[in-house]
Chain A
């Protein structure tokens, strides 16, 4: 029971962090049809920028400075990079963002080195919020939930209640029609790309000291965010939110399950042998393959429901 409740909270924290990353990616993906491979790299940049601004100015200003820098980089990438390769088709755009991953990764290594940065939780938030069955729940995790919930509300308001949001929504589903109505669709693209990068940067600020700030975090977060986007469905922020929380929970809960498929089969009288490949697969505890489950779920959803949970069109 205690493990259950603690895992529920931690799953939510991780899920919300995933959502901060995935929401930007899903907006970019559904509008431009480009799976931005460099999204994880922007997240990493956000963490490094936040570390630097925390060092020189302070954590609270980092909360604004780092995302703004990431947003500016995003806008630059869109205007001078993506837009130029756009007429060569999606493959060119895909390869372009793929190349960015290496360039950003290498630049970060050259600027900050390979070792992790001592980017720590600010002193004002470094206390236990409450104690649950003898385990503390750090205030910083509460703060992460707060920031991500605020961001969720902010995006929702922006998209549903403002004129810019209306245009973005229209451009998401009917880019040609929106352009025909006289809206500057390329500008909308730039705004969305920069906005997505802003969100990734924000996730970097609060994720960089929740995890550790080192060159490996781009690779660590990149794939799982794609899984969330595909699982949630294209063009759907709600689907993306649900998928993020599900993935957060799946990854967190799978760790505490020591049972295996064989344990499920035992009551109905099937006891797999331990010495062959099939037996080995059936007897491996869920805890050991937990990290693989999101990928497995993505494969299954692509198989049975290619548009994702709440997607409006096929991937």
Chain B
């Protein structure tokens, strides 16, 4: 046997031992394939989510986990390429993982729903569930709804309802500015729709789509907004596109409210800084001051533990609830069998950390929970990202207010 062959033989042998070890380790863990961008332009978003999930799972595991087992995340980087996401999904199914989780990108969400559905139809003994933690397009629980897909966060239409309902009565003219891609366009449509429905007194004086992540200087837009005389800028821009927008507005001394959808995302407060004081609002599930505002000592402890390890505010309370629901569903099902867990999740009601009732609606697998409208201010008790300014709730929108009709016609498997 030549050296190279010997080496190959040893290598293959080692592989065998390693994979056997992996199988054995799988017995006392519940693995969740987690597909998100961890490199490329949205690497920050993916890595911040990962930080959040590690924190949540540490807590869930410390409480015992489902069936006495521990959760374990297996991460896959899809680099914001839908094709890569499907390759990652293939690895998830090859490893027989019972759950796949994905947060960033509605276009990928749609592709994943389709791929998971097909996989489950073809491989009835190796099915998996798709836990959607951030693909927000409303269609995913309407026309494109699927039995194997559960959305554990609030969709675009629900966010738009919350945004419009919390717009102050004094605001009579708004300028809409959104990013020119699937998410921005669907926010644009939803905002228009619910403005007409809930606030017919508000005039839309400008409605614009900006290239996604390409604009270096928003000054020309600011000049247009100024010329329009709008009182409020309603925008779903996030990350760079929001930071540069507000920066240009502040540089030009534009007197306007910024009623945003996503300004609370990590990095937003840092870039906004003191200039955003008392004029920037956002719609979010939670922030570091909610616990104290609602006098909830357990939640305050949760927040202080989080603040000890991360510089940005804890926002996604829905993700904590997601693992509460998943744990209960697995316990109820007695296994991680996709059909049993899905049936257990359908219609599940659970009380979240803040004592509010959350529901996983059976008709379309859309999670229903409350949202907060908060303002960025120096008078907030706990600040965000060491800026000295933080979020302070102005309104809480109950899940009843966010319960919208669905057009979903769910096809359920026979067994």
- A residues within 8 Å of B by Cβ? 2-3, 6-7, 10, 13-14, 109, 114-118, 120, 128, 131, 133-138, 140-141, 210-212, 214-216, 219-221, 224, 251-253, 255-256, 287-292
B253 at the interface (CB under 8 A from A): yes
Q: From residue 54 to 99 of chain B, which have CB atoms closer than 8 A to chain A?
A: none
- Chain A residues with CB under 8 Å of B226's CB are 133-135
From B209, B216, B227, B244, give the contact of A288 (CB < 8 A).
Answer: B209
Q: Known contacts being A14-B216, A117-B270, is A255 close to B221, with CB within 8 Å?
A: yes
Q: How far is the CB of B311 from chain A (nearest CB, A)?
A: 7
Pairwise interchain contact B209-A115, C-beta atoms closer than 8 A: no
Pairwise interchain contact A251-B216, C-beta atoms closer than 8 A: yes
7 A-B pairs with the lowest CB-CB distances in the bound complex, closest first: A114-B44, A291-B214, A136-B253, A291-B211, A255-B220, A10-B219, A6-B223
- Chain B residues with CB under 8 Å of A289's CB are 211
Task: Kindly state the separation between the CA atoms of A120 and B387 in the bound complex, as whole angstroms.
Answer: 12
Closest to B251 in A: A138
Closest to A207 in B: B216
- Chain B residues with CB under 8 Å of A290's CB are 211
Task: Kindly state the separation between the CA atoms of A114 and B47 in the bound complex, as whole angstroms.
Answer: 8
Pairwise interchain contact B223-A3, C-beta atoms closer than 8 A: yes
From B240, B266, B312, give the contact of A212 (CB < 8 A).
Answer: B240
Q: Known contacts being A3-B224, A116-B267, A288-B209, is A135 close to B243, with CB within 8 Å?
A: no
20 CB-based A-B contacts, threshold 8 Å: A3-B223, A6-B220, A10-B220, A114-B44, A115-B267, A118-B270, A118-B271, A134-B226, A135-B222, A137-B252, A211-B217, A212-B240, A214-B240, A216-B41, A216-B213, A216-B240, A220-B213, A220-B214, A220-B216, A290-B211
Q: How far is the CB of B154 from chain A (nearest CB, A)?
A: 24
Pairwise interchain contact A141-B44, C-beta atoms closer than 8 A: no
Q: How far is the CB of B42 from chain A (nearest CB, A)?
A: 9
From A134, A141, A292, name the one whose CB has the most chain B CB atoms within 10 angstroms: A134
- Place the interface of chain B in its size category: 35 or more
- Chain B residues with CB under 8 Å of A138's CB are 251-252
Closest to B385 in A: A115
Q: How far is the CB of A251 from chain B (nearest CB, A)?
A: 7
Task: Kindly state the separation between the CA atoms of A3 and B266 in the bound complex, as whole angstroms.
Answer: 33
Q: How far is the CB of A167 from chain B (nearest CB, A)?
A: 35
B247 at the interface (CB under 8 A from A): yes
Pairwise interchain contact B217-A252, C-beta atoms closer than 8 A: yes
- Chain A residues with CB under 8 Å of B273's CB are 118, 120
- Chain A residues with CB under 8 Å of B254's CB are 135
Task: Kindly state the separation between the CA atoms of A13 and B251 in the bound complex, as whole angstroms.
Answer: 13
- Chain A residues with CB under 8 Å of B227's CB are 2-3
Task: Kindly state the separation between the CA atoms of A134 and B41 in the bound complex, as whole angstroms.
Answer: 36
Pairwise interchain contact A212-B251, C-beta atoms closer than 8 A: no
B205 at the interface (CB under 8 A from A): no
Task: Kindly state the separation between the CA atoms of A212 and B202 in the bound complex, as whole angstroms.
Answer: 33
- Chain A residues with CB under 8 Å of B271's CB are 116, 118, 212
Task: Kindly state the separation between the CA atoms of A287 and B227 in the bound complex, as whole angstroms.
Answer: 16
- Chain B residues with CB under 8 Å of A114's CB are 43-44, 47-48, 267
Q: How far is the CB of A109 from chain B (nearest CB, A)?
A: 7
Pairwise interchain contact B220-A252, C-beta atoms closer than 8 A: yes
Closest to A224 in B: B216
Instruction: Classify the interface of chain A: helix, strand, loop or mixed.
Output: helix
Pairwise interchain contact B222-A253, C-beta atoms closer than 8 A: no
Q: How far is the CB of A230 from chain B (nearest CB, A)?
A: 18
- B residues within 8 Å of A by Cβ? 41, 43-44, 47-48, 180, 208-211, 213-217, 219-224, 226-227, 239-240, 243-244, 247, 251-254, 266-267, 270-271, 273, 311-312, 385, 387
Closest to B248 in A: A10
- Chain A residues with CB under 8 Å of B311's CB are 115
Task: Kindly state the separation between the CA atoms of A118 and B312 in the bound complex, as whole angstroms.
Answer: 14
From B180, B216, B223, B239, give the contact of A7 (CB < 8 A).
Answer: B223
Task: Kindly state the separation between the CA atoms of A117 and B311 in the bound complex, as whole angstroms.
Answer: 12
- Chain B residues with CB under 8 Å of A2's CB are 223, 227
- Chain A residues with CB under 8 Å of B239's CB are 216
- Chain B residues with CB under 8 Å of A251's CB are 216-217
Q: How far is the CB of A126 from chain B (nearest CB, A)?
A: 9
- Chain A residues with CB under 8 Å of B247's CB are 211-212
- Apart from A115-B385, A214-B240, A215-B44, what are 16 other A-B pairs with CB-CB below 8 Å? A2-B227, A7-B220, A10-B217, A115-B266, A118-B271, A140-B251, A210-B217, A212-B243, A212-B271, A216-B239, A220-B213, A251-B216, A252-B217, A252-B220, A256-B220, A256-B224
- Chain A residues with CB under 8 Å of B267's CB are 114-116, 214
Pairwise interchain contact A221-B219, C-beta atoms closer than 8 A: no
From B215, B251, B253, B385, give the contact of A141 (CB < 8 A).
Answer: B251
- Chain B residues with CB under 8 Å of A134's CB are 226
Pairwise interchain contact B47-A115, C-beta atoms closer than 8 A: no
Q: Known contacts being A120-B273, A291-B214, is A253 close to B251, with CB within 8 Å?
A: no
Pairwise interchain contact A287-B208, C-beta atoms closer than 8 A: yes
- Chain A residues with CB under 8 Å of B221's CB are 255
Task: Kindly state the separation between the CA atoms of A169 and B266 in the bound complex, as whole angstroms.
Answer: 48
- Chain A residues with CB under 8 Å of B220's CB are 3, 6-7, 10, 252-253, 255-256
- Chain B residues with CB under 8 Å of A141's CB are 251
Task: Kindly state the separation between the CA atoms of A246 and B239 in the bound complex, as whole angstroms.
Answer: 28
Pairwise interchain contact A116-B251, C-beta atoms closer than 8 A: no
- Chain B residues with CB under 8 Å of A120's CB are 273
From B41, B44, B210, B224, give the contact of A115 (CB < 8 A).
Answer: B44
Task: Kindly state the separation between the CA atoms of A224 and B239 in the bound complex, as whole angstroms.
Answer: 20
Pairwise interchain contact A212-B244, C-beta atoms closer than 8 A: yes
Closest to A3 in B: B223
Task: Kindly state the separation between the CA atoms of A211 and B217 in the bound complex, as whole angstroms.
Answer: 7
- Chain B residues with CB under 8 Å of A224's CB are 216
Q: Known contacts being A118-B273, A252-B219, is A135 close to B211, with CB within 8 Å?
A: no
Pairwise interchain contact A288-B223, C-beta atoms closer than 8 A: no
Task: Kindly state the separation between the CA atoms of A135 and B221 in the bound complex, as whole angstroms.
Answer: 12
Q: Known contacts being A135-B223, A288-B211, A292-B211, is A116 close to B243, with CB within 8 Å?
A: yes
From B210, B220, B385, name the one whose CB has the most chain A CB atoms within 10 angstroms: B220
Task: Kindly state the separation between the CA atoms of A83 and B208 in the bound complex, as whole angstroms.
Answer: 49
Pairwise interchain contact B253-A109, C-beta atoms closer than 8 A: no
- Chain B residues with CB under 8 Å of A7's CB are 219-220, 223
- Chain A residues with CB under 8 Å of B216's CB are 14, 211, 220-221, 224, 251
Q: How far is the CB of A28 from chain B (nearest CB, A)?
A: 22
Closest to A128 in B: B253
From B215, B224, B252, give the contact of A136 (CB < 8 A).
Answer: B252
Pairwise interchain contact A136-B251, C-beta atoms closer than 8 A: yes
